[in-house]
Amino acid sequence: MAGEVGLTQALSYARDLKALYEGSRMRENELARSNERLRSAHRQSLRYAADLKQTFRRLERSFLGSLEALANALEARDAYTRGHSDRVARLSQELALAAGLSPARAAMVARAGRLHDLGKIGVPEAVLGKPGALTAAEWRRMREHPLVGAQILAPLEFFAEGALIVRHHHERLDGSGYPDGLRGEAIPVGARVVAVADTYDALTSDRPYRRGLAHAEAVRRLGDEAGRTLDAELTQRFLDLIARREPAGHGSADRDV
């Protein structure tokens, strides 16, 4: 009798243990399925985030392309500045590569060169096309264009370095430039590159207030500014570059804007 009771209890315990085990396995399986659903949702959210980031980047690049088109349209209104930014972009890219910048960074510098005068959208045409000397007020307005251009570009996170180049392309090595009076290597290297290219093209281009300089005279002036207002090494590399080609011959710029 006692043996039968013991067997019955053992069987009962075994059934209870089996039920506990099966319940535990069911909970483990449910937990595993829940974890998998969470992992799947996480992977999906990462894919969504990546897609959104790519879409955002495409929108940013499309916006930047629109700004480049705007900059070209602004220049096209004026026969004196037509093509200036494209020439600065090309010369800046060549100089950046000669200075050892990577192709990707040189392309970014070129893009900044193409947009360096974008801020002139805020300068009245009467000031831009004035054939005589600017008044103090007009000069202050003209000197705002690097800041305005940088502010327009500021929302483009991927082009942050380009926006800094636009802001500082009129800084000068001796601190005499604007808008921040930076000097020496405090000026971003891309801005120093664009400054050399911009100065050369400004010197050799006709402007409302003077005729463009001959290539040889522009080269002489660049040499005079090397180490004073323009980066000496970059200026020499630039002079070496343009010495290998025929002078552009597109014609004067004491008003360095």
| 88 within 8 A of 166, measured Cβ to Cβ | no
Q: Summarize the confidence of residues 194-221 as an average pLDDT.
A: 91
DSSP annotation of 130: -
Q: Give the model confidence (pLDDT) of 155-190 as tens digits.
A: 888 899 999 999 999 999 999 999 999 999 999 999
Q: Give the model confidence (pLDDT) of 90-126 as tens digits.
A: 999 999 999 999 999 999 999 999 999 999 988 888 8
Superfamily of domain 77-243: Hypothetical protein af1432 (1.10.3210.10)
Q: What are the φ/ψ torsions at residue 80 (nearest 5 degrees)?
A: -75, -35
Q: Summarize the confidence of residues 38-67 as an average pLDDT.
A: 82
Greater confidence (132 vs 236) lies with: 236
Burial of 205 (0-12, 13-18, 19+ CB in 10 A): buried
Q: What is the pLDDT of residue 3?
A: 59
Task: Give residue limits of the domains in the chain.
Answer: 1-57, 77-243
